[in-house]
Every structure is written in structure tokens, then in C-alpha cells.
Amino acid sequence: MASYSWIDLGIQHLSESVFVGLRRIVGTSQQVAMRREILEMDEVIQDQAFLSDKFKLITSGSYREGFRLQGSDVDMMIWLNHFKIIWDLDQAQNYDLNRKTLILSVCSESPPGFALLELLTETNQVYLKNSCIRINDRLYISSSKFRSIHCYSGFREHGPCSYVVQAELEFDFAHCFV
């Protein structure tokens, strides 16, 4: 017969109470998994229906993982499909320059975890042109200009994202290059 101290019984009761409380806040593991699967199906349908040729929209963060926590926002990443990031100039020959805007990622001149994005080809995307700054006769994309251009009416800047509240949900949109 196992003997338990009063402390062991107290911790067991506390663990059960925390579990029950979290389940009320977060949902059961089945509910969380179902939310995750529904969001995955929604993204596949959107991707196949009308978005895949123009841009990609991906939910991330706790909402993507199936959690619906009060006060938590919905994190979204958006990128346009006609841009192509390359890491070496030799890769440029692999792309049709009439269909893709090439951007070179230059990591050698920036701190670890950061990159300079050099615009290599002409683009008819006005917002991208307006996001560029000239350094030594080369055009680089300014992240702060790029972000502020994507802060549409009703949005505000929120770190690297544009932020908006719709239907009582808070959304952070990160406009990205993939």
C-alpha cells in the first residue's frame, strides 16, 4: 500500500484543478485539434479557389494552433507570389524575369538574423518601388517603408505588422517575402 504525504495529495489536487481550469479556457484536446484541422482545410480551399496565383495567406501563432484565448490576436502572413528571393546571383538565370521580380538577399552586410533585400529587376509594383531606398547605386527594400505602405486605412503599425480590429478580433498582418 502506497503512502502519500499531505503535500503529495495537495499537488495532485492542484494539478487536477489547473487541468480543469485550462480545459475551460483553451478547450479539450479534441476541440483544439478540430480547430486546427478546420483552419488547414480553409487555407487549402482558399489557396485552390482564388488566391494561389496572386498571393498566399497563412495564419500563424496561437490561433493557428487551435487556441482561442481571450485577448489574443490572430497572426497572418501574406506574400505575393510574383516575387522571388534568391541567395546567389547565379540563381537569377533560373527564372523568367517577365514573370518574377527578383530580390537578392544579402546577409554578408547585416547583423545575424537580418538581411538586406536588393531589388534586382524592374517592377511595375508601385508600392514596392516606393518602399526602396538607394544605397551606393543599388535599390534596397526598406522594411519600415514597406510596412507603412501596407498600413491601409483603419490599420495601424504594430511592430513589423499592420494591425486592425474586425468583428471584435484583433489581426496582425505581416507582409512578407518568401
CA 6 – CA 12 distance, rounded (Å): 10
What is the per-residue pLDDT across 111-129, written as a single tens digit (0 to 9) for each?
Answer: 888 899 999 998 888 888 9
Q: What is the chain's alpha carbon radius of gyration, rounded to the nearest angstrom?
A: 23
Amino acid at 123: T
Q: How many CB atoms lie within 10 A of CB 131?
A: 23
Cα–Cα distance for residue pair 19/27, rounded to 1 Å: 11
Q: Enumerate residues 6+ apart whose C-beta is below 8 A from 46.
A: 57
Report how far residue 27's alpha carbon sits from residue 68's, in angstroms, rounded to the nearest whole number: 8
| pLDDT score at 69 | 76
User: What pLDDT is stored for residue 11 in this prediction?
Assistant: 61
- 6-80+153-176 — its CATH code? 3.30.460
C-alpha cell of residue 122: 524592374
Query: Taking a C-beta distance cutoff of 8 angstroms, is the pair 150, 156 a contact?
Result: no
Numbered ranges of CATH 3.30.460 in the chain = 6-80+153-176
| Residues lower than pLDDT 50 in the chain | none
List the one residue out of 142, 138, 134, 89 whose CA is nearest residue 114.
Answer: 142
* pTM for the model: 0.69
